A and B are shown apart, each in its own frame.
Chain A
Amino acid sequence: MSTTQPGAGAAIRVALDAARDELRGDVARGAGGRAALQQHADRVDGLLRSLYAEAGGAERPVAVIALGGYGRRHLCLHSDIDLLLLFEGRIGPAEERFLRAFLHPLWDVGVVVGHQVRELDEFADLERDNPEFLLALLDARLVAGSRLLVDRLGAMFHTPATHAYILQSLLALIEERHARFNATLYQLEPDVKEAPGALRDLMATRTIAALTDTLLLQRGPADPGRFEEAEDFLLRVRSILHLEAERNQNVLSHELQERTADVLGYPGDEPRQRVERLMSDYFRHARTVSRTLEWMRRTAPTPVGPNLGLTRDGVRFLDPVQAARSPASWLAAFQAALDAGTGITDEALSCIQQHVSHYRAEDFTPEPRDRAAFLKLLKPRPGLYAALSQMHDCGLLGRLFPEFDAVSWRVVRDFYHKYTVDEHTLLTIRNLERLMSTQAQYRERFKMVAASLPSPELLVLALLLHDVGKWRDDEHALESVRMAAEALERLQVAADARDTVLFLIRNHLQMSLVAFRRDTEDPEIVKEFARLLGTEDRLKMLCLMTLADIEAVSPETLTPWKEELIWRLYVDTYNHLTQRYGDELIERNQAGLGELLSWRPHDIPEAEIMRFLEGLPRRYLQLFPREAIYRHVRLARDIGADEVHVSLEQNDTVWSLSVVTLDKPFLFSNICGVLSSFGMNILRGQALTNPNGLVLDVFQFTDDERFLALNVDAHVQVLQLLRDVVSGHADVTALLRGREQGVLHARGAPRVAPVVRADNEASERYTIVDIVAANALGLLYRISGVISRHGCSVELVLISTEGERAIDVFHITRAGIKLTEAEQRALTSDLQSTLEGKV
């Protein structure tokens, strides 16, 4: 039932009929083109405005917005009237009253209204499920109501991300639509709206230009005049189809072709001749549209970020004037180019070159997210060297790192180096980038090391700054460290990352020194080198740094012979770090201990720290930042039997769980089992035990099933189950059984053949069991379960994963001593069977 006066409906009908009659007249004269349709749209606008006025507006701001074809003012006789009714705030009873008063009269007179009723807030997030609606919004035009509201909608809607999404969707929609017509415009009965070369293609061409570069239409393959002419022709034909069919009919069928030819006044004695002339005109215009669209699809830059477009020549600034004013967007341009596997265009480079000297280093990365993005940019991958070289050429790298500018074109006079210091530096990065994607068999071993780095961008940062001290002629490593520290300070790199980068720069010559000049068969030399490095990650980075650095001196410098020496030192040091560290306990004079004590928070007395550290391996201090150690000390405080003290933290996508408790059989296995029972994927971890039976286990894992993200009380659940399982109040086996079976069945045969190796030589106190196997849910639980069932206690564990391989090193004892030969054999054979899925 209408809520408006009956009189209002009648008035609308009269006005609408008058408007339609006028359009009919134009169409019948063959003049139903753009001008007539615009005039019709204007008349409908007027009608809607009077309806809006009669509906009395709403209490709070509302806007009646024309969308799509109506928004463009191409309103055909039987086109739907697409409207967006936009409210500023929540739609309440008053707004609903307005809607009824506005829409019902339209419905009553039989107007087909395609309407969307929305609140402004709904546009805060991009709607990804309705690209047609987003496309229609591009033509939004205020008909009645609040201008301010439309402007606010525009500000929310017109963002680079939305534009990029719409463009991407539009290109997909075009493909789909063309496929329906077998991708040809030469249809005998063409649909003048949908067919290739018809009205939708014409609009798509304009939309692509509007979303990317509005000047493109002037440069297309067809004269812009011919494009307009095609539009007018297609609209005139469509108008006739609507008139003749008396509905929204867009197919130029054989019957309608005769009528259309007559209305448009094509000459010819026979209807056939007139139709042929009409259709030849149609195909000519459709071809113009089609060719322009094809050209546009090839040429238009794809939006790849704010003010950034991807073209065949690379990434460019869509608006160079704006780009010149926002230096923070320059690094984004390089990032986008790297992502797209291309460079940035010469124009963009000149734009940067022209303006780069106006800015300071900080201007390029003003916000934390810019600085994080810059670190991400440094991840080694194909194109990084090229990108950094471009950045160097246009002066951006030197501005970003004035330190690096000091060694631009710097010549080192020796018989060794072949390139200037800056180019040598960039070549080290190219070598690393190439290593990561090398196909060379002999490089495979180093490639795997590179692939296992958790933060390879830190290595690139270290390479970038390792030689900046070479502006001086003497000892350069320390000067490089001093200068790099300033650069890292400016970039506000996190403390542990900064320490790693400075460590690498300070020691960048150490590995070649030891590998080539020292007797690496001497275990003392390896032990000293391992002490210097402390952790496997640093060893890996220094190893790759050494390789990349030597190779960048000249093409001949890195011989297979040198590679072999580096590799052997790497393997020996790696084995030392992973297998012998249990023998090396924290000493009172160890580096880092003094700092740890002097920076300690007020609530932790020195004696408490010392008591906690007693009997832990020295690598513990190298592995964990100070804050983490203080946290562990607090967790260990006042711990009683059967008590479990736990902390759970999230860093990006990786969770970190620290567990402190007193040792007991199956402890490690149970903790792993709890994590696996929640579907957690354990990536890295350390299990440490001190002689007093205090156990500290630290796991890094990802929550692949988003259990922690999706469940409000997930933390509590995980921690409660841990407590219950460790104290013996719950059995993890039952929880895991279903899950494990599912996983085992799903995975099929493992792609990594499991290797189990026990060693009694490596460590003085422990039997070392090295395990390499396909990573799988519950793997650690199964391994450690077998170890515990053999009556062994797990003293130390190192867990790491590389892609689908899990690499675990267990330090175990049985009744406090190493295993006998027979015990080792029984254990390894059991482990092997378990990993092969035989039990």
Chain B
Amino acid sequence: MKLIKSIVRPNKVDEVKDALARLNISGMTVTEVRGHGKQKGHTAIYRGKEYNVSLLPKMEVEIVVNDSLADEAIKAIVEAARTGEIGDGRVFVFPVLESYRIRTGEKDA
């Protein structure tokens, strides 16, 4: 199993969700996060006063999928979240050792 953690633009979350749903991936965790990578943000000026907006609002979408589905899921996320501009985000993939259902205590295959 793989944990796929993607950082995307807030306005792209729905598209990412839809793309994953098409792969029958519906379980996910979505978190509001702030950060920056290479894209350092910019300074917004409001009535003569500068506001530092170096930490950009992003959404983090986490899913756990079987190894066989991982490549397709990553592709779906990248395609859905891409605008081609700087700041489109990142996808990180982690190996998952074990997984349990809390309700039943049953271990996932």
Please tell me if the beta carbons of A568 and B53 are within 8 angstroms of each other in the complex: yes
Please tell me if the beta carbons of B57 and A564 are within 8 angstroms of each other in the complex: yes
- Given A521-B85, A559-B32, A561-B32, A770 and B48 touching (CB < 8 A)? yes
- Given A521-B87, A559-B32, A561-B57, A770 and B11 touching (CB < 8 A)? no
Least CB distance from B47 to A in Å reads: 5
Please tell me if the beta carbons of B47 and A562 are within 8 angstroms of each other in the complex: no
Q: Does B44 contact A (CB under 8 A)?
A: yes
Q: Does B40 contact A (CB under 8 A)?
A: no
Please tell me if the beta carbons of A564 and B34 are within 8 angstroms of each other in the complex: yes
Least CB distance from A446 to B in Å reads: 12
Residues of chain B within 8 A (CB-CB) of A113 are: none
User: Which of B11, B33, B48, B51 sits near A772, CB closer than 8 Å?
Assistant: B48
Q: Which A residue sits closest to B86, measured CB to CB?
A: A521
A163 to B34, CA, bound (A): 62
* Interface segment out of the listed A253-261, A294-302, A570-578, A639-647: A570-578
A572 to B57, CA, bound (A): 15
A572 to B51, CA, bound (A): 12
A25 to B28, CA, bound (A): 105
Residues of chain A within 8 A (CB-CB) of B85 are: 521
Instruction: Please provide the chain B residues from 32 to 88 with a CB less than 8 Å away from any CB of chain A in the complex.
Output: 32-34, 44-49, 51, 53, 57, 83, 85, 87
A571 to B43, CA, bound (A): 11
Please tell me if the beta carbons of A755 and B11 are within 8 angstroms of each other in the complex: no
Residues of chain B within 8 A (CB-CB) of A561 are: 32-34, 57
Q: Does B9 contact A (CB under 8 A)?
A: yes
User: Which of A559, A564, A757 sits near B48, CB closer than 8 Å?
Assistant: A757
Residues of chain A within 8 A (CB-CB) of B33 are: 561
Least CB distance from B33 to A in Å reads: 8
Q: Does B27 contact A (CB under 8 A)?
A: no
Residues of chain B within 8 A (CB-CB) of A519 are: 9, 11-12, 83
A258 to B49, CA, bound (A): 81
- Given A517-B14, A518-B11, A521-B87, A571 and B46 touching (CB < 8 A)? yes
- Given A516-B11, A521-B87, A755 and B49 touching (CB < 8 A)? yes
Please tell me if the beta carbons of B32 and A562 are within 8 angstroms of each other in the complex: yes
A520 to B85, CA, bound (A): 13
Q: Which A residue sits closest to B87, measured CB to CB?
A: A521
A390 to B62, CA, bound (A): 46
Q: Does A183 contact B (CB under 8 A)?
A: no
For A, the interface residue count at a CB cutoff of 8 angstroms equals: 25
A755 to B14, CA, bound (A): 41
User: Which of B10, B45, B46, B48 sits near A516, CB closer than 8 Å?
Assistant: B10
A564 to B87, CA, bound (A): 17
Please tell me if the beta carbons of B45 and A575 are within 8 angstroms of each other in the complex: yes
A562 to B9, CA, bound (A): 13
Please tell me if the beta carbons of B34 and A772 are within 8 angstroms of each other in the complex: no
Q: Which B residue sits closest to A773, measured CB to CB?
A: B48
Q: Which A residue sits closest to B55, measured CB to CB?
A: A564
Q: Which B residue sits closest to A805, measured CB to CB?
A: B47
A518 to B44, CA, bound (A): 19
Instruction: Please provide the chain A residues from 505 to 532 with a CB less than 8 Å away from any CB of chain B in the complex.
Output: 516-521
Q: Which A residue sits closest to B53, measured CB to CB?
A: A568
Least CB distance from B29 to A in Å reads: 15
Q: Does A373 contact B (CB under 8 A)?
A: no
Residues of chain B within 8 A (CB-CB) of A780 are: none
A771 to B48, CA, bound (A): 7
Residues of chain B within 8 A (CB-CB) of A755 are: 48-49
Q: Does A565 contact B (CB under 8 A)?
A: yes
Q: Does A807 contact B (CB under 8 A)?
A: yes
Residues of chain B within 8 A (CB-CB) of A575 are: 45-46
User: Which of A567, A572, A756, A772 sits near B47, CB closer than 8 Å?
Assistant: A772
User: Which of B14, B44, B45, B87 sits near A568, CB closer than 8 Å?
Assistant: B44
Please tell me if the beta carbons of B11 and A757 are within 8 angstroms of each other in the complex: no
Least CB distance from B8 to A in Å reads: 11
A565 to B11, CA, bound (A): 11
Q: Which A residue sits closest to B44, measured CB to CB?
A: A571
Please tell me if the beta carbons of A757 and B32 are within 8 angstroms of each other in the complex: no
Residues of chain B within 8 A (CB-CB) of A756 are: 48
Residues of chain B within 8 A (CB-CB) of A564 are: 34, 53, 57
Instruction: Please provide the chain A residues from 438 to 479 with a CB less than 8 Å away from any CB of chain B in the complex.
Output: 445
Instruction: Please provide the chain A residues from 529 to 566 with a CB less than 8 Å away from any CB of chain B in the complex.
Output: 559, 561-562, 564-565
- Given A521-B87, A568-B53, A574 and B32 touching (CB < 8 A)? no
A481 to B60, CA, bound (A): 37
A517 to B13, CA, bound (A): 8
User: Which of A518, A521, A574 sits near B46, CB closer than 8 Å?
Assistant: A574
Least CB distance from A539 to B in Å reads: 12
Residues of chain A within 8 A (CB-CB) of B12 are: 519
Residues of chain B within 8 A (CB-CB) of A517 are: 10-11, 14
- Given A517-B11, A565-B57, A571 and B51 touching (CB < 8 A)? yes
Residues of chain A within 8 A (CB-CB) of B53 are: 564, 568
Least CB distance from B54 to A in Å reads: 12
Least CB distance from A788 to B in Å reads: 22
Residues of chain B within 8 A (CB-CB) of A757 are: 45, 48
A706 to B85, CA, bound (A): 58
Instruction: Please provide the chain A residues from 734 to 772 with a CB less than 8 Å away from any CB of chain B in the complex.
Output: 755-757, 770-772
Closest 10 CB pairs of A and B: A755-B48, A772-B48, A561-B32, A571-B46, A519-B11, A571-B44, A518-B11, A565-B57, A807-B47, A561-B57
A-B contact pairs, 29 of them (CB 8 A): A445-B46, A516-B11, A517-B10, A517-B11, A517-B14, A518-B11, A519-B9, A521-B85, A521-B87, A559-B32, A561-B32, A561-B33, A561-B34, A562-B32, A564-B34, A564-B53, A565-B10, A565-B57, A568-B53, A568-B57, A571-B45, A572-B44, A574-B47, A755-B48, A755-B49, A770-B47, A772-B47, A807-B47, A807-B48
Given contacts A561-B33, A757-B45, A772-B47, 16 further A-B contacts (CB under 8 A): A516-B10, A516-B11, A517-B14, A518-B11, A519-B11, A520-B11, A561-B32, A562-B32, A564-B34, A564-B53, A564-B57, A565-B10, A568-B44, A770-B45, A772-B48, A807-B47
A residues lining the B interface (CB < 8 Å): 445, 516-521, 559, 561-562, 564-565, 567-568, 571-572, 574-575, 755-757, 770-772, 807
